Amino acid sequence: MEAENSMSKLLVNILKSKGLTDEHITALELSGVCSKDDFTMIGDYQTLMDVTGVDEEASQKVMSWALGASAPVATNGKESDGSSNTPIIVESSDVVKCVHCGAKQPKDYETGDLCISCGLQAEPVLSCHWCYSSGPGKFCRECGSEFLGASDYEIGLFLKKEGESKNSIVKLVKEMTAQEKEAIWAKIRKSR
């Protein structure tokens, strides 16, 4: 009973509620743990398991309580510290990034300008196969159709002329093999 006197009764009750037994608490006291602050010296749940012989789940609960949000937690066999290693970056909605290299473009950037890092067109301007307008991005701002790549634009125009719907043209072109595209190109050349 004297061994329990070195730890406060509140701490003993909290540790018991986290799954530790009297033997585990005695092992902690013998190793010099007397307060919640001493758990920072232990550092992680694996060390707590080594010192006390407690199971993994209980040691994770204890260390999570003792260290707060910074306690290392096992996920899929790997340890993580609960917080993401990648920083959160908040950018304004008018930020333009190059589609090729991801470099942020200056505030005076206009559609069609070249990237300051790689020299390619930062935001390619594509033509719509459905309404013939052009613009940046993946979708037409006039009709909402998804843009086709520059190499497939003529095929999209041909399929529109053949009577395909706006949304099915993009799907058809994406699913086409190189031979099917070449056959359509032959028809396009023949119709000129």
38 vs 3, higher pLDDT? 38
Answer whether 159's CB lies under 8 Å from 169's CB. yes
Mean pLDDT of 29-43: 82
**130-151 confidence digits (pLDDT tens):** 998 988 888 899 999 999 888 8
Q: Tokens at residue 13, please?
A: 């009750």
How far is CA 186 from each of CA 6, 29, 103, 181, 182, rounded to the nearest angstrom?
89, 85, 40, 9, 6
User: CA-to-CA distance for 24 and 106, rounded, in angstroms?
Assistant: 60
For the chain, the domains span: 2-80, 91-123, 126-191
> Pairing relation of β-strands 73-75 and 78-80?
antiparallel
Mean pLDDT of 94-109: 85
The closest of 110, 101, 104 to 92, measured between CA atoms, is 104
Question: For the chain, how big is the Rg over CA atoms in Å?
Answer: 32
What is the 8-class DSSP label of residue 97? B
**For residue 66, what pLDDT band results from cuts at 50, 70 and 90?**
confident
**172-190 confidence digits (pLDDT tens):** 999 999 999 999 999 888 8
> In terms of residues, how long is the chain?
192
User: CA-to-CA distance for 72 and 19, rounded, in angstroms?
Assistant: 18
**5-29 confidence digits (pLDDT tens):** 478 888 888 888 888 888 888 888 8
